[in-house]
């Protein structure tokens, strides 16, 4: 923890099941001692078994939510998650360009844990061409990195190659997540112009992993908002997310949620 609260403006979709999206983001930032404000991009009907409906909000409404927060409460960092369509992506880019001094963590959410598409096809190009260059930290998993780069990703070295290509698009740093790569060890690679740092640990044998990407990226954003250096923010986020998976409450019949509140209980 740090003494600084840190305000994170989260721009992402809502998950009615509470395991991912805005709900996971708010829980994560709060558990790590930060303050979470939100601009909701889409409302989803989902639970641990899948996504049953998606209603994307208008770009004007998304932008108005964000500007209302920035004009009054302010922010120390942005966390960007599910955006839904190209119009919303363009609105978010306008918001970020008006607050260039703030760190921006982008989780390029494209597909839900159960396989449902969360992004229209045209929006993928907008994320790659317009949004990614705004990122202080991009946090793609292997399928997302493959979609953004066109590379096949089956190994950690493939992750590194994809990360190099993504950095070539203008992003300041990438955290390449290896949870989808088979094997007993999960390896994530933080890549920056100064070099790379590897985070690895034994794979946790559980089906309760819904919202891990949202949680990890929001934890990174909380750390940056609190003034932590990038590597320290990622290391804390990685440890927090792993423990949240280990302590998952076991809710639901499918991919269950994590225990976001474990630091609160420990305190």
The answer to whether residue 192 is catalytic is no
Phi first, then psi, for residue 223 (nearest 5°) are -60, -45
Out of 27, 79, 113, 177, which one is annotated catalytic? Answer: 177
The answer to whether residue 242 is catalytic is no
Out of 212, 215, 223, 256, which one is annotated catalytic? Answer: 212
The answer to whether residue 177 is catalytic is yes
Out of 81, 149, 214, 223, which one is annotated catalytic? Answer: 214
The answer to whether residue 56 is catalytic is no
Out of 139, 149, 209, 241, which one is annotated catalytic? Answer: 209
The answer to whether residue 212 is catalytic is yes
Sign (positive/negative) of CA torsion 123, 114, 241, 193? negative
- Beta strand 174-176 pairing with 185-192: antiparallel
Residue 139's alpha-carbon distances to 59, 67, 70, 98, 173, in angstroms, are 23, 25, 24, 22, 9
Out of 18, 213, 223, 242, which one is annotated catalytic? Answer: 213
The answer to whether residue 183 is catalytic is no
Out of 211, 223, 242, 256, which one is annotated catalytic? Answer: 211
Which residues are known to be catalytic? 177, 209, 211-214
């Amino acid at each position: 923890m740090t003494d600084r609260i840190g305000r994170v403006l989260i721009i992402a979709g809502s998950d009615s099941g509470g395991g991912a999206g805005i709900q996971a983001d708010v829980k994560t930032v709060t558990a790590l001692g930060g303050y979470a404000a939100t601009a909701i991009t889409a409302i989803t009907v989902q639970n641990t078994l899948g996504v049953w409906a998606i209603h994307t909000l208008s770009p004007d409404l998304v932008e108005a939510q964000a500007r209302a927060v920035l004009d009054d409460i302010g922010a120390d960092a942005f966390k960007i998650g599910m955006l839904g369509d190209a119009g919303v992506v363009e609105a978010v880019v306008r918001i970020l360009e008006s607050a260039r001094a703030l760190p921006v963590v982008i989780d390029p959410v494209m597909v839900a844990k159960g396989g449902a598409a969360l992004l229209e096809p045209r929006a993928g190009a907008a994320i790659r061409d317009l949004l990614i260059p705004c990122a202080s930290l991009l946090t793609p998993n292997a399928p997302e990195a493959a979609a953004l780069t066109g590379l096949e990703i089956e190994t950690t070295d493939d992750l590194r190659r994809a990360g190099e290509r993504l950095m070539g698009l203008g992003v300041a740093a990438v955290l390449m997540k290896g949870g989808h790569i088979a094997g007993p060890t999960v390896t994530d690679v933080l890549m920056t112009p100064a070099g790379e740092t590897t985070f690895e640990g034994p794979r946790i044998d559980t089906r309760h992993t819904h919202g891990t990407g949202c949680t990890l990226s929001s934890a990174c954003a909380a750390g940056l908002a609190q003034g932590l250096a990038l590597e320290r923010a990622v290391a804390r986020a990685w440890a927090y997310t792993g423990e949240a998976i280990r302590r998952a409450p076991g809710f639901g019949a499918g991919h269950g949620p994590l225990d976001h509140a474990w630091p609160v209980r420990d305190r």
